[in-house]
């Protein structure tokens, strides 16, 4: 009986081995905020501990793709123990962004906060329409 249990136990792939652990990087959905301003959209994401080199932004066919891939290692030594800390993950988000002028997109990364400014095309900006009536003409004549 013990031999059957031991055989099955050791036949399982090891989830604790370093090779098995790092083969599959967890894929997460990037948490973002989107603000709709009069002349632009602002997409922001909090990315503490992430380097700007680990962030990729692409705009194509009316879609904004933002992705982050992090693979960090840290070693801590003291008199008795050496510890290694590993962090690996990737996160991404795809947003439909119609009416955006792709040539004028700007991105800023400061203090772990990513801000992407997506200017709206002129043809999608709100236009103020003046209402004309015969009373308005009469009113204008009285003011002169």
Please give the pLDDT value at position 86: 74
Please give the pLDDT value at position 122: 84
Please give the pLDDT value at position 132: 83
Collapsing DSSP states into helix, strand and coil, what is residue 138?
A: helix
Please give the pLDDT value at position 139: 53
90-100 residue pLDDT tens: 888 999 988 89
Give the pTM.
0.64
- How far are the Cα atoms of 16, 96, 123, 131 from residue 128, in angstroms, in the given order? 63, 26, 13, 10
Beta strand spans in 18-81 (E): 27-29, 33-36, 40-46, 55-60, 63-77
Domain range annotation of the chain: 28-125
Residues of the chain with pLDDT under 50: 1-23
CA nearest to 65, candidates 28, 109, 112, 30? 30
CATH topology of domain 28-125: Immunoglobulin-like (2.60.40)
Summarize the chain as % helix, strand, coil (round to 5). Answer: 25, 45, 30
Q: Which value, in Å, is the radius of gyration of the alpha carbons in the chain?
A: 28
Phi-psi label, residue 16: left if phi above 0, alpha if psi -120 to 50, beta otherwise: alpha
Please give the pLDDT value at position 143: 52
């Amino acid at each position: 009986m013990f031999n059957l249990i031991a055989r099955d136990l050791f036949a399982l792939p090891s989830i604790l081995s370093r090779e098995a652990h790092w083969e599959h990087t967890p894929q997460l959905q990037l948490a973002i905020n989107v603000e709709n301003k009069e002349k632009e959209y602002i997409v922001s994401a909090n990315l503490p501990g992430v380097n700007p080199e680990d962030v990729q932004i692409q705009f194509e066919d009316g879609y904004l793709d933002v992705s982050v891939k992090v693979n960090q290692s840290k070693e801590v030594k003291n008199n008795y123990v050496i510890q290694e800390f590993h962090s690996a993950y990737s996160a991404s988000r795809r947003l439909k962004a119609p009416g955006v002028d792709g040539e004028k997109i700007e991105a800023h990364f400061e203090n772990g906060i990513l801000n992407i400014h997506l200017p709206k095309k002129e043809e999608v900006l709100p236009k103020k329409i003046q209402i004309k009536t015969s009373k308005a003409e009469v009113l204008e004549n009285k003011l002169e």
